[in-house]
């Protein structure tokens, strides 16, 4: 029995125009590699189908451009959670007759039934992927239909999530379609692009169309968009994006992760640019709602947890913080006077979108805090607050995490009727963020990374706002350096975690003016068990073996205290031979459950 290769997130691109398609597609795949990096492939038409694909990162695959002629092409960079990373399983996938090629981001949930159906009709399968059913369905339907109608009929057979780009031998066009996976169109000068994300074509155009759910687009010399659910041709607005290719390049930095850590002075400034009226409208919604839920995944969840402390202390409001993947367990509590605040960098995270749709079915209002204009989450929301962070290419969330905290902090202050005070406090923080992201600060933190790089375990503790920071800090370390790291509330140490402490175990202790006395007590308990104590906060202490000073910033502490750990995690990755931009088993956005 063949088994499914679960594609968590991949990057796809398609091109039609006057340029050599293979060069455009290859460059686009390089910018999308943060979405997947275990294999890649390209198909072009000349008008025959030409295909090259292989396992490995894109710069490890020897694409022969001379053997990929033509002005129409599609490409794919893949990331899989399980199943064989083999040349056969690489995209693009070809139909049995060799005339139809498909690239796919997402997962076809009923692929086994479709495979059995097609095998009964004589089709042969050569891979372990779910995607291979799609070109063969199209081949089957093209026996009695043209290319477009065959694609439409095939799409009706699919269950699951997908962004697809499809070509057919002899036809100078690309057909692309999306359902529950991101897909955008780039509108150039006598050329068109489809891609998973804007950086794939930003070098060529800043004009972008964000496709809606169930949109199907045809690109050749012209552009046509159909909505399969509405069964009609539709028009979608063209947006001009306000960032350029330089922001999607590493520049003088060795890695995107380091570049994006260093960009936080600017990204925090940009996050402050939210329209005051938009912030006020959302604050009124919070005050009017009977129940308010903050939902997120991963780093976004930690930002939500941090925000819940701020709403409690500033606005005297209780907000329920829920992992988006667990939100279904709260569905029976959602009412028409409930409010859901969904936090997501990409706006395409499957668990977030499912939670939001579930809340809307019960009549709740939805506010999204997101970084990507035109993403699925923005269209599902009643109100939208943009993070304005610009592109984040590294898999790890750094500048987008602090941007989420900025927006949520502003919102907490606004809900308390103290918006101007909150904005001033964050503005005061910007110069300090510049200091703690500087080369001097990075060199100082590198000394710590050299001391603890061979550790098997790192433990992090905090109280109050420093507890969510400890959770996020632990996530950063284990994501990129593969050192086991765990974050705890300081008061929980004696309830089990302290049993793990041995001589030399690194323990990172976050302190603040409010929690210093209790945290020093916790540090003393750890020190007595032989721990190597790393203090992060406004004041040093004799208990600390290593100290990183971070200014006291009250409700903004969470914004600045995480940054030294971002730097530490990056440097640990380098010292341990890990790729900070492409950590194993991870991808940028999780677009299927």
- Phi–psi pair at 142, nearest 5 degrees: -75, -10
Residues 104 and 131: beta-carbon distance below 8 Å = yes
Instruction: Outline where 178-219 has alpha helix (H).
Output: none
Residues 245 and 212: beta-carbon distance below 8 Å = no
> E strands along 189-280, which residues?
192-195, 207-210, 215-219, 223-227, 232-234, 239-240
Provide the sign of the torsion angle of the four alpha carbons 252, 254, 255, 258, taken in this order: negative
Average pLDDT, the chain: 91
The Cα angle at residue 33 between residues 28 and 37, in degrees rounded to 5: 135
> E strands along 511-591, which residues?
532-537, 546-549
Instruction: Of 360, 301, 299, give the one whose Cα is nearest residue 326.
Output: 301
Catalytic residue among 4, 10, 259, 297: 10
Tell me if residue 10 is catalytic.
yes
Rounded CA separation 48/44 (Å): 8
Residues lower than pLDDT 50 in the chain: 1-8, 81-83
Q: So what's the architecture of 438-578 in CATH?
A: 3-Layer(aba) Sandwich (3.40)
Rounded CA separation 472/298 (Å): 8
Q: Which helix (H) or strand (E) holds 165?
A: strand 160-168
Evaluate whether 258-436 and 438-578 have a shared fold.
Answer: yes
| Protein fold of 11-247 | 3.60.20
From edge to edge, which strands make up the β-sheet containing 291-296?
A: 320-323, 291-296, 338-344, 365-370, 383-386
Provide the pLDDT for residue 6.
37
Provide the sign of the torsion angle of the four alpha carbons 402, 407, 412, 413, taken in this order: positive
Catalytic residue among 53, 259, 423, 588: 588
Please write the tens of the pLDDT for every residue from 271-305. 998 778 999 999 999 999 999 999 999 999 999 99
Provide the pLDDT for residue 142.
97
- Phi–psi pair at 297, nearest 5 degrees: -130, 145
Rounded CA separation 133/475 (Å): 37
Residue 331 CB neighbours (<10 A):
12
Instruction: Of 543, 458, 547, give the one whose Cα is nearest residue 502.
Output: 458
Contacts 24+ apart (CB under 8 A), 443-450: 444/548, 445/548, 445/564, 445/567, 445/568, 445/571, 446/571, 447/546, 448/534, 448/546, 448/548, 448/568, 449/568, 449/571, 449/572, 449/575, 450/575
Domain ranges of the chain: 11-247, 258-436, 438-578
Instruction: Of 388, 286, 405, give the one whose Cα is nearest residue 343.
Output: 405
Tell me if residue 360 is catalytic.
no
On the CB side of 148, CA atoms within 13 Å amount to 13
Residues 566 and 580: beta-carbon distance below 8 Å = no
The one-character DSSP state at 139 is H
Rounded CA separation 296/315 (Å): 21
Rounded CA separation 506/100 (Å): 55
From edge to edge, which strands make up the β-sheet containing 39-45?
A: 49-55, 39-45, 72-78, 11-16, 192-195, 184-187, 207-210, 239-240
Rounded CA separation 557/512 (Å): 8
| Protein fold of 258-436 | Rossmann fold (3.40.50)
Rounded CA separation 268/288 (Å): 29
Instruction: Of 589, 492, 588, 584, give the one whose Cα is nearest residue 81.
Output: 584
The residues near 274 (Cβ < 8 Å, ≥ 6 apart) are 385, 386, 388, 407, 410
Give the 3-state secondary structure of residue 327: helix
Where b means 16+ CB within 10 Å and e means fewer, 62-93 reads ebeeeebebbbbbbbbbbbeebeeeeebbbbb
Provide the pLDDT for residue 325.
94
Instruction: Of 321, 293, 318, give the one whose Cα is nearest residue 305.
Output: 321
């Amino acid at each position: 029995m063949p088994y499914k290769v679960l594609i968590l997130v991949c990057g796809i691109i398609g091109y039609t125009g006057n340029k050599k398609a293979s060069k455009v597609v290859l460059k686009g795949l390089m910018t999308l590699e943060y979405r997947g990096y275990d294999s890649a492939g390209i198909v072009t038409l000349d008008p025959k189908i030409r295909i090259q694909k292989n396992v490995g990162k894109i710069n490890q695959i020897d694409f022969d451009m001379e053997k990929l002629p033509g002005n129409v092409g599609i490409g794919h960079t893949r990331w899989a959670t399980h199943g064989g990373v083999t040349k056969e399983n690489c995209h693009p996938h070809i139909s049995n007759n060799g005339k139809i090629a498909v690239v796919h981001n997402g997962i076809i949930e009923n692929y086994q039934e479709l495979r059995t159906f097609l095998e009964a009709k004589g089709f042969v399968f050569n891979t372990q992927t779910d995607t291979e059913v799609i070109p063969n369905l199209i081949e089957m339907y093209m026996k009695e239909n043209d290319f477009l109608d065959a694609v439409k009929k095939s799409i009706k057979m699919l269950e699951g999530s997908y962004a697809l780009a499809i070509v057919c031998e002899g036809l100078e066009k690309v057909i692309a379609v999306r359902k529950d996976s991101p897909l955008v169109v780039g509108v150039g000068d006598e050329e068109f692009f489809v891609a998973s994300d804007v950086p794939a074509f930003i070098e060529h155009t800043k004009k972008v169309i964000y496709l809606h759910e169930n949109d199907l687009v045809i690109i050749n010399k012209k552009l046509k968009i159909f909505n399969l659910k509405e069964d009609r041709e539709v028009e979608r607005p063209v947006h001009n994006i306000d960032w350029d290719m330089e922001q999607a390049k590493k520049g003088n930095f060795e890695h995107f992760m380091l570049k994006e850590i260093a960009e936080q002075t600017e990204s925090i400034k940009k996050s402050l640019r939210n329209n005051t009226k938009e912030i006020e409208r959302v604050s009124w919604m919070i005050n009017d709602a009977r129940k308010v839920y903050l939902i997120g995944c991963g780093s976004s969840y930690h930002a939500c947890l941090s925000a819940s402390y701020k709403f409690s202390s500033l606005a005297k409001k209780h907000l329920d913080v829920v992992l988006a993947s667990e939100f279904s367990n709260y569905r029976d509590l959602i009412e028409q006077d409930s409010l859901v605040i969904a936090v997501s960098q990409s706006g395409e995270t499957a668990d977030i979108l499912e939670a939001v749709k579930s809340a809307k079915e019960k009549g709740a209002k939805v506010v999204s805090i997101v970084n990507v204009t035109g993403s699925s989450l923005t269209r599902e929301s009643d109100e939208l607050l943009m993070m304005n962070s610009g592109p984040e290419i590294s898999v790890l969330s750094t500048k987008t995490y602090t941007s989420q905290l900025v927006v949520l902090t502003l919102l907490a202050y606004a809900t308390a009727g103290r918006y101007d005070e909150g904005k001033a406090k964050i503005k005061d923080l910007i110069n300090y963020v510049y200091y703690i992201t500087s080369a001097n600060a990075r060199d100082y933190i590198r000394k710590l990374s050299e001391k603890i790089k061979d550790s098997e375990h790192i433990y992090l503790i905090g109280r109050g706002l420093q507890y969510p920071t400890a959770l996020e800090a632990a996530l950063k370390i284990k994501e990129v350096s593969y050192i086991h790291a765990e974050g705890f509330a300081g008061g929980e140490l004696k309830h089990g975690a302290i049993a793990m402490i041995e001589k030399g175990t690194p323990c990172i202790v976050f302190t603040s003016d409010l929690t210093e006395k209790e945290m020093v007590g916790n540090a003393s308990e750890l020190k007595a068990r032989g721990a190597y104590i790393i203090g992060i906060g406004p004041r040093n202490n004799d208990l600390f073996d290593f100290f990183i000073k971070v200014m006291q910033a009250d409700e903004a502490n969470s914004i600045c205290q995480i940054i030294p750990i971002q730097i530490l995690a990056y440097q640990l990755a380098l010292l341990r031979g890990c790729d900070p931009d492409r950590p194993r088993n991870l991808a940028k956005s999780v677009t299927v459950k």
